[in-house]
Amino acid sequence: MSQSKPFDIRDIYTISGVQIAEIYEKNKMTVHFQGMSKCLDFPQTVAIQGAPTCSIGISPYGLYNRFNDAGRLIMTNQKAIQFGSAPYIRVDDECTLLTQKQPGETELPDDIPAVKNYYHEPVPVENVSMTIATPSLEIAYELDTVKVVRRFISPLLSGNDDTVTPLCAEEFVVENTTNEPQEITIVVPRPSLINLQEKEVKPTDQDSVYICTAAVSGQKHEELKTAGMRGVIMASTQTINRMALAVPEMEGVSVDVQPYFCLNKYKGDLLVNADGTFYEKRKPVLRSDYGAAISLTFTLAPQSSKTLPVVMALDFPVQDY
């Protein structure tokens, strides 16, 4: 039996940011069911995080765009939820949103647009590339002084009991492309998908598909620190479902957590100090939707790279059908 050899998945299928727009926007690549194409509606998804019955869909822009809860497809077309899943990087004093998607853009008629000045500037389309090797996905961002590869790792690759565990694992590979050391902070936010407010999209034709908005009450988030891990557990007083965002403690990397950030106050609530700690940590207020975030701060030597793993677990013992 021949021995397996390592390979670079970028050798399989890589498309540029311009091609991403051509394929997923202009040509509108869609799922077709004969005789039903006019009544079925699916978001554009290039990767799935989690287990088959409890998973999150990733759009071609690296953002959340759907949540599979048991047999139901919940479209996260509220732009505050989608952009609440977008990481950003600060190199020295310059912040960049790690997506090519513009906050003011919408994809579906029911989309609620996001206000552009609430977010950092996205990466230019021509500086983005995407590598698809199902179930793996990599998105590369070329900035002026660094390159960031965001790698989505499916539990299907584990080969053991974790294959059907609703875990969402990622790696951020940051490379300093200059001849000078760089002070870098990566902020990884996640919107809470607990107790989403859902509405059927097409009850007659597609009764298992919903649109949603994030919950605006009952949020209960707690800081997690155990067994060399730091993060946040997002929960609610109105359900026992939970989700946890965490990173391992790493040598040379300073970690801070933001238990609550208002989805509509991305830049304000995710503002970090010079040392990478969050500027302000506030308690939730009524009629606001929330997520949680982690910041990772480190110094990167010239022409060197660092890999930062991030994991999220979905604990949804109560699933509606």
* Backbone angles phi and psi of 127, in degrees to 5: -100, 15
Using one digit for the tens of pLDDT, what is the confidence trace for 241-270? Answer: 999 999 999 999 999 999 999 999 999 999
- Could you give the CA distance from residue 24 to residue 9 in angstroms, rounded to a whole number? 21
Within 13 Å, how many C-alpha atoms sit on residue 116's CB side? 8
Q: Which of 45-54, 76-85, 101-110, 214-223 has the lowest mean pLDDT?
A: 101-110
pLDDT at 206: 65
Mean pLDDT of the chain: 88
148 — pLDDT class (breaks 50, 70, 90): very high
Pairing of strands 128-133, 94-97: unpaired
Average pLDDT rounded to a whole number, residues 37-54: 76
For the ranges 69-83, 111-125, 201-215, the maximum mean pLDDT occurs at 69-83
- The CATH code for residues 12-315 is 2.70.98
Q: Is 127 helix (H, G, I), strand (E, B) or coil?
A: helix
Category of 151 on φ-ψ map: left (φ > 0), alpha (ψ -120 to 50) or beta: beta
For the ranges 13-22, 25-34, 140-149, the maximum mean pLDDT occurs at 140-149
Using one digit for the tens of pLDDT, what is the confidence trace for 269-307? Answer: 999 999 999 999 999 999 999 999 999 999 999 999 999
For the ranges 19-33, 71-85, 172-186, 191-205, the maximum mean pLDDT occurs at 172-186
- Could you give the CA distance from residue 114 to residue 31 in angstroms, rounded to a whole number? 27
Each domain of the chain, given as residue ranges in start order, spans 12-315
Residue 29 reports pLDDT greater than 60: no
- Could you give the CA distance from residue 50 to residue 165 in angstroms, rounded to a whole number? 7
- Could you give the CA distance from residue 178 to residue 185 in angstroms, rounded to a whole number? 17
pLDDT at 34: 46
Within 13 Å, how many C-alpha atoms sit on residue 289's CB side? 22
Category of 228 on φ-ψ map: left (φ > 0), alpha (ψ -120 to 50) or beta: left
Within 13 Å, how many C-alpha atoms sit on residue 274's CB side? 0
- Give the strand order in the sheet containing 47-51: 47-51, 54-58, 64-69, 72-75, 206-213, 197-202
Residue 170 reports pLDDT greater than 90: yes
In the chain, the percentage of residues whose pLDDT exceeds 70 is 86
- CA–chain centroid gap for 201, Å, is 24
Average pLDDT rounded to a whole number, residues 36-53: 74
33 — pLDDT class (breaks 50, 70, 90): very low
117 — pLDDT class (breaks 50, 70, 90): confident
